[in-house]
Structure 1
Amino acid sequence: MSPFPIQEMTLPVALSGTDVIGQAKTGTGKTLGFGLPLLERVTVPADVEAGRAKPEQLTDAPQALVVVPTRELCTQVTNDLLTAGKVRNVRVLAIYGGRAYEPQVEALKKGVDVIVGTPGRLLDLAGQRKLDLSHVKALVLDEADEMLDLGFLPDVEKIINMLPAKRQTMLFSATMPGAVIGLARRYMSQPTHIRATAPDDEGATVANITQHVYRAHSMDKPEMVSRILQANGRGLAMIFCRTKRTAADIAEQLERRGFASGAVHGDLGQGAREQALRAFRNGKVDVLVCTDVAARGIDVEGVTHVINYQSPEDEKTFLHRVGRTGRAGNKGTAVTLVDWDDIPRWQLINKALELDFHEPVETYSTSPHLFADLDIPEGTKGVLPRAERTRAGLGAEELEDLGETGGRGGRGRKAQAAPAEERPARTRTPRQRRRTRGGTALGEAPAASTAEATEAPAAPADEQSAAPRTPRRRRRTRAGASSEAAAAVATAEAAPAPVAPVEESPVEEAPKPRRRRTAKKAVEAPAVETAEAVVESIEAAEPVAEPKPRRRTVKKAAPAAEAVVETVEAPEATEAKPRRRTVKKAAQAPVEAVAEEAPKPRRRTTKKAAEAPVEAATEEAPKPRRRTTKKAAEAPVEAATEEAPKPRRRTTKKAAEAPVETVMDEVPRPRRRTTKKAVAAPAES
């Protein structure tokens, strides 16, 4: 049996201890190309017995390290090294995630010669001081282009920093871009780059692989795959999908069509992934639907067909997928189904690999050339006949309990509910919770007062429970109302004595005339009620005292004017007299109130407030001033008897004198604020 080209060229260089970058096509024996030199550098008890090593060179710490990107590849490389090192009894241990820590830690304590692992679990055990990498003599990065990718690079650098500076480093992969080679030289010492190919093997893929590329519709792909799987001479088949959801869906559809299929993707737990791979290797399952996690390094004997259900991302992924067949000199068939949306991506892959499928042929499940190219019997349908369903299936393979530590297959998987007969019987009556509101259970009447309880006999319990509960009424009070007024209102409501009817309904506060601010002219706003009507309504109304607000001044506050107000016969609601705010100086505003006259508030002016002497005439309504833009002309207005008040305006620069004569019992007139100076405005009764 002759070695492969990569093995023949690599073994002499690697056995001498030189750093090596090995590149060869998939399925050409790269694992033994680095595995045999690695096993030779390890010192084992057999070497001491043969006299090739001294006893002090023996150690239980690992002497060689192989880093791989996927768990499936980790188990495969471990099995290959165990087979190759069986003669010398070399101890090889696989360390990867998805399994329990305890068995791996126990194996490390017993002693290990070679470790094959994934970056994440290696860093975990090294951080816990369970893994000692200080005695490593040789480091191998399998699938180096994937290991030195941006996702794995930080972890790989951390692992390399834990190793001794003097060591042998070997990198192997089927695809080795120039950027990866330049990056790898940082961690190597004068490496030898070996690129091995057979003399009669041209192109990117192995010559033993027959390529077929079809343009297919996504809805017709399951039917096409079902007919391709019934081709003559078809052995084991691998179907590659781009997404985990698609892989799970296709595996389920093929199982319904009668095929013994299994799935390997990231959403499965490690136990389920290894179960599917074992069943595939043992022949219990002949169709393995997987994502790109199984595209690198997986070596299964008897794989004759590889189907790319979805177009790969790039040319490297395409090479690794197709390389699962036609391994070790065997022949294989690769079928790629390209959707209409994936045509541009496929054309880039075709150009990079220099293939002859720039424009794939439009193909359907009933196309004659599909049957002719793949040797599919005529009349084949999309369902496997029952006579050909001879495989045991995935269920025949035992699912191993790996003690998974996380992910969807470990702690993330929901625990199945125990059967009803296995649950312990209930030993006590569960406590019934009663909802209450304010200490009273819902549906029961609230507790009555002591006085009512002594006067009226108690109602039966069923009547109490049936009586609806009266909702508590919430009383709204005005923000400005005093506590005394609120108490008076509450007392009046609670008093049982009837109230004497009033001929005229009580009138609320007299509404203040709304002033309208205009730029040039102000429209007259007639008063709603006359002064006499206000006085009559006040006599009939009950007294509600409101607080007298205090005014704020910016610089100086004017002394408060004294107002002498005679009240009416019945207690009246005296309205508060608001004070005005002045910006610079507040003018003195003494006010002399006549008998039965309400207070007269001042107004605000913009710059200067003109003197506004007010003379009260008998039964005359107030007349407010207006605002003028520049100067307000003198506008003395004398109102006739029972005349509605006329609102004043604000002046922008100067306010003209506007004396207004008011009658007795007139409605209060608000004061204004002045911006610069407030002119004294004495009111004369």
Structure 2
Amino acid sequence: MTFSNLGLSQKVLASVEASGYTTPTPIQEQAIPHVLARRDVLGIAQTGTGKTAGFVLPMLTLLEKGRARARMPRTLILEPTRELAAQVEESFNRYGRNHKLTVALLIGGVSFDDQQKKLDRGADVLIATPGRLLDHFGRGTILLNGVEILVIDEADRMLDMGFIPDIERICKLLPFTRQTLFFSATMPPEIQRLADSFLTNPVRVEVSRPATAATTVSQFLVTTGREPAEKRAVLRTLVREAKDLTNAIIFCNRKRDVATLHRSLARHGFSVAALHGDMDQRSRMQTLDDFKKDKITLLVASDVAARGLDIPAVSHIFNFDVPTHADDYIHRIGRTGRAGRSGTSITIATPIDRKYVAAIEKLTSTTIPPLEIEASEERSRAFYGSRTQPAE
């Protein structure tokens, strides 16, 4: 199966080819023909399965006919976070390079002036977080009665973040005849109820059982002592000795640990940046952009960055802390091994993490194989380091 078999337009196929993709992922193969046929779609897919292109590519094809009117967007995509919204915009810009479409982004933390101009001119695609969208609807700066396609993305995360009442209100403002595409990584009862209320005779597309790690990710477990300095020495050894490491995301459980580890790695000469929830939007976007462009090799992050990061080629994931919620492990390591690429995930565990490791192995129905590492040289280097530049 190739993209040319799915019914996409020649303009879209040319952009896909220019991006280096030849074979659709399972969710793309299943979803795209139904979207093009104007069917409602219920998609259940893990992050990293190519889900975004699964709706962006057919939407671009459908949008080649017709034109937008002032303040009346033709399509609406709802995302739970600023980062996800910005990444979907990037996807439209990448695959829509042969189209003359206007894409507007409504998210907090970014000046609205430029986006307002796009809306006033007529937006073919509006990508928004629910709260920001309702703010502008309340001010009368946008009309939603011309929306032809609605995408609700990461619905289970919308539920976690308390956005469901906002989404229900938004849906009441849209035409009943719209096409709705509804995506979620999991399908708890509350999400199923929402899908039943938002969708009309939908096609269900499910490409991977939730709570399973991608088979393209090689997982390993490294045991260490509980002292933070020892954990940092083990991490440095892992990074220095990693095979085929091109870049890596390193996850910590707490934002203060993100800052501590970031400072430590920087002092040891690593190319590293940090990403956590307290950063302003401009800084977050700049850090992500630098990482994507390989200006930074290591990105230390809290779980706020675990879901939805659209960075296609992350070679390694390091769990500096074992996540206390097993499903967070799935979302973390889902940042590598994406769209058929291979990836490596290494989790550093102390004796007190045993119960969390056991919960992960139970959830994923796998035993994470141990990886032996000798970090004494790294520990010695830190201990006998320069007194004027503390190593830890």
What's the TM-score, normalizing by structure 2? 0.84
Which structure has the highest strand share of the two? 2
Residue 59 (structure 2) aligned to one of 28, 35, 38: 38
In the alignment, which residue of structure 2 is the partner of 1:158? 169
In the alignment, which residue of structure 1 is the partner of 2:215? 207
Q: How much does 1:194 deviate?
A: 1.0
In the alignment, which residue of structure 2 is the partner of 1:298? 309
In the alignment, which residue of structure 2 is the partner of 1:115? 126
SS in 2 for 1:13: helix
| Structure having greater relative contact order (Cα 8 Å, sep ≥ 6) | 2
Q: Distance in 2 between matches of 1:261 and 1:215?
A: 24
Residue 223 (structure 1) aligned to one of 233, 239, 258: 233
Q: Distance in 1 between matches of 2:282 and 2:210?
A: 40
Q: Distance in 1 between matches of 2:34 and 2:332?
A: 30
Counterpart residue identity of residue 24, structure 1 = A
> 2:106 touches 2:132 (CA, 8 Å); kept in 1?
yes
Q: Does residue 149 of structure 2 align to residue 128 of structure 1? A: no
Q: How much does 1:94 deviate?
A: 1.8
Q: Does residue 261 of structure 2 align to residue 240 of structure 1? A: no
Deviations 1:470-514 (A, max 9, x none): xxxxxxxxxxxxxxxxxxxxxxxxxxxxxxxxxxxxxxxxxxxxx
Q: Distance in 1 between matches of 2:216 and 2:378?
A: 27
> 2:68 touches 2:74 (CA, 8 Å); kept in 1?
no
Q: Distance in 1 between matches of 2:210 and 2:41?
A: 24
Residue 288 (structure 2) aligned to one of 270, 277, 287: 277
Counterpart residue identity of residue 204, structure 2 = H
SS in 2 for 1:288: strand
Counterpart residue identity of residue 289, structure 1 = V
SS in 1 for 2:165: helix
Q: Distance in 2 between matches of 1:115 and 1:275?
A: 22
Counterpart residue identity of residue 52, structure 2 = T
Residue 11 (structure 1) aligned to one of 28, 32, 42: 32
SS in 2 for 1:317: helix
Q: Distance in 1 between matches of 2:216 and 2:143?
A: 44
Q: Distance in 2 between matches of 1:330 and 1:90?
A: 31
Alignment gaps of 5+ in structure 1? 48-52, 364-368, 385-685
Residue 330 (structure 1) aligned to one of 341, 344, 348: 341
* Structure-2 change in CA distance of 1:226 and 1:189 (3 Å): same
* Structure-2 change in CA distance of 1:59 and 1:236 (3 Å): same
> 1:66 touches 1:140 (CA, 8 Å); kept in 2?
yes
Counterpart residue identity of residue 106, structure 2 = I
Q: How much does 1:72 deviate?
A: 1.5
Counterpart residue identity of residue 205, structure 1 = A
User: Identity across aligned pairs (percent)?
Assistant: 37
In the alignment, which residue of structure 2 is the partner of 1:59? 69
* Structure-2 change in CA distance of 1:382 and 1:33 (3 Å): farther
Q: Distance in 2 between matches of 1:253 and 1:131?
A: 47
Q: Does residue 110 of structure 2 align to residue 85 of structure 1? A: no
Q: Does residue 373 of structure 2 align to residue 370 of structure 1? A: yes
* Structure-2 change in CA distance of 1:263 and 1:203 (3 Å): closer
Deviations 1:112-143 (A, max 9, x none): 11011212211221111112211111111121
SS in 2 for 1:230: helix
Q: How much does 1:10 deviate?
A: 0.9
Q: How much does 1:111 deviate?
A: 1.9
Counterpart residue identity of residue 219, structure 2 = Q
* Structure-2 change in CA distance of 1:181 and 1:342 (3 Å): farther
Deviations 1:214-267 (A, max 9, x none): 343242211111111112321101011222211122111111111111111111
Q: Distance in 1 between matches of 2:57 and 2:354?
A: 43
> 1:257 touches 1:382 (CA, 8 Å); kept in 2?
no
Q: Distance in 2 between matches of 1:17 and 1:382?
A: 63
> 1:263 touches 1:288 (CA, 8 Å); kept in 2?
yes
What's the TM-score, normalizing by structure 1? 0.49
Q: How much does 1:380 deviate?
A: 5.5
SS in 2 for 1:123: helix
Deviations 1:592-631 (A, max 9, x none): xxxxxxxxxxxxxxxxxxxxxxxxxxxxxxxxxxxxxxxx
* Structure-2 change in CA distance of 1:40 and 1:301 (3 Å): closer
> 1:213 touches 1:336 (CA, 8 Å); kept in 2?
yes
SS in 1 for 2:151: strand
In the alignment, which residue of structure 1 is the partner of 2:359? 348
> 1:11 touches 1:33 (CA, 8 Å); kept in 2?
yes
Q: How much does 1:96 deviate?
A: 0.8
Counterpart residue identity of residue 217, structure 2 = I
Measured on the aligned residues, the alpha-carbon RMSD in Å equals 2.5
In the alignment, which residue of structure 2 is the partner of 1:74? 85
* Structure-2 change in CA distance of 1:382 and 1:151 (3 Å): farther
Q: How much does 1:6 deviate?
A: 0.9
Counterpart residue identity of residue 222, structure 1 = R
Alignment gaps of 5+ in structure 2? 1-21, 383-392
Deviations 1:8-27 (A, max 9, x none): 11111121121111123432
Q: Distance in 2 between matches of 1:206 and 1:236?
A: 19
Q: Distance in 1 between matches of 2:200 and 2:280?
A: 40
In the alignment, which residue of structure 1 is the partner of 2:200? 189
For residues 496-515 of structure 1, the aligned pairs below 5 Å read none
Q: Distance in 1 between matches of 2:269 and 2:68?
A: 55
> 1:236 touches 1:286 (CA, 8 Å); kept in 2?
yes
Counterpart residue identity of residue 4, structure 1 = T
Counterpart residue identity of residue 307, structure 1 = F
Deviations 1:622-641 (A, max 9, x none): xxxxxxxxxxxxxxxxxxxx
Which structure has the highest helix share of the two? 2
Q: How much does 1:149 deviate?
A: 3.0
Q: Distance in 1 between matches of 2:313 and 2:60?
A: 28
- Runs of 4 or more, structure 1, over 4 Å off, are 378-384
In the alignment, which residue of structure 2 is the partner of 1:288? 299
> 1:148 touches 1:156 (CA, 8 Å); kept in 2?
no
Deviations 1:18-37 (A, max 9, x none): 11111234322111111123
SS in 2 for 1:148: helix
Counterpart residue identity of residue 213, structure 2 = T
Q: Which structure has the bigger radius of gyration?
A: 1
Q: How much does 1:341 deviate?
A: 3.6
